[in-house]
Amino acid sequence: MLSLDFLNNEYEDTKSPSKKAEEYIAIDILTGNLRPGQRIVEQDLCEKFSMSRTPVREILSRLAAGGLIELVPNRGAFVVGITERDVDDIFYMKTLLYPQCVKWAIERITEEEYSMLEETFSFMEFYTATEDMEKMQKINRGFEAIIYNACHNAEMEAALLKYDFIIRYANLDIKYPLNYLPTVLEEHRAIFDAFRARKPEQGAEAAQIHAFRSMMRRK
């Protein structure tokens, strides 16, 4: 069950050591610390993360399944990385999935999930005025994570969380306009208003607008 721990750093401690290690490696790839074609040495990972070869190989298998590395028989693991086109494609796929996710979430959300969403939006309103970009990005991710969970479709939730992870770390150098926080607040307000009114189609339309504008802000 989700909680509001995303407002601080405690939620990181709920992840398994294996999941944390997988994310650290993925972040190094997405941010360019590990370059395309670079070999990843299993023993180095075992020492860095204090793990045996078995969980490290499982991590590498998952990264390969996600397309970030390639496992070459008798040679090892090599970074594939991610291109600008890959990121553009992921943004576009989110514009297709997110509206349906919001529609389902409005239809299926529980009272407890709605209370969490309502509280999160209140935090969003408060922290927008503080212009605390780091805090707001964390709250925005939490707002969407609640919606993903509330659609009650595990495949949809996993896909959108994966897209958001890649988008987040592949765009660390993005320059945000001065009115970014108030603008995004209003886009999220339109989505939340649809939840409050229990109008799935209205929510899907608001989600489509937000996802499309998010994609265009990257340009």
Give the model's pLDDT for residue 208: 97
* CB neighbour class for 75 (10 Å; exposed up to 12, middle 13-18, buried from 19): exposed
What residues contact 34, with CB distance under 8 A and at least 6 apart? Answer: 25, 28, 40, 79, 81
> Is residue 178 pLDDT above 80, yes or no?
no
Count CA atoms closer than 13 A to 149's CA, side-chain side: 15
Tell me which amino acid residue 219 is: K
Give the model's pLDDT for residue 11: 47
> Is residue 21 pLDDT above 50, yes or no?
yes
Q: What is the mean pLDDT of residues 6-16?
A: 59
Helix axis angle, 133-150 to 180-197, nearest 10°: 20
> Is residue 50 pLDDT above 70, yes or no?
yes
Domains and CATH numbers, the chain: 11-79 (1.10.10.10), 84-217 (1.20.120.530)
| Closest alpha carbon to 82 in 9, 29, 155, 161 | 29
| Mean pLDDT (the chain, rounded) | 91
Q: What is the mean pLDDT of residues 78-102?
A: 94
Q: What is the mean pLDDT of residues 202-218?
A: 93
Distance of CA 203 to the CA centre of its chain: 20
